[in-house]
Amino acid sequence: MSAPRKGKAPTAMGRPEAQENNNDTSIIASLADSIKASVMAGEVVTAADYPEGKRPLFWAAIARVRDDLPCVKPIWRMTNEQHVDGIRTRQKMFRICPRQSEVIDAALAGLIVFAVACIALLAGGAL
């Protein structure tokens, strides 16, 4: 066995791909901001909303959005079904799910207050 060569590692040469990666990062950031705005407005966002050339960027952007907003969850919807062939086409969609472990919505809070009031009245005491 020969001894490993000691010396400097080769310096990185200027590559045109490096500039493209910076451009992709800025495109992904702007796409993530637009997806965040759409989702926060209550819209359902899918990859099919974007041209085929931008879909890989969509998946990178939605990963950033899900990191920033953990309440954005994927859901699956059936878009096409052929009974004869038994083929179902499903699409992955993203939306804000209001019920999280840390968040309570108004309807659930009202139901809890109503249940407590009913229990108090059944127990014979008034609030």
Kindly give the confidence (pLDDT) of every residue in the chain, 127 residues in length, as a single tens digit, with 9 standing for 90 and above: 556 556 555 555 455 554 455 567 888 888 999 999 988 888 899 998 888 888 889 999 999 999 988 888 888 888 888 778 778 888 889 888 765 555 666 777 888 899 998 888 888 765 5
What pLDDT score was predicted for residue 61? 92
- For the whole model, what pTM was predicted? 0.56
Sheet holding 72-82, edge to edge: 45-46, 87-96, 72-82
What pLDDT score was predicted for residue 8? 57
Domains in the chain: boundaries: 24-96, 103-127
What pLDDT score was predicted for residue 62? 92
Cβ atoms within 10 Å, residue 38: 16
Q: Tell how strand 87-96 and strand 72-82 pair up.
A: antiparallel
User: C-alpha angle with apex 104: 102 to 109, nearest 5 degrees?
Assistant: 150
Residue 1 in tokens: 């066995």
What pLDDT score was predicted for residue 89? 85
Closest CA to 90 of 78, 82, 99: 78
Q: Can you tell me which residue has the tokens 């001894």?
A: 3
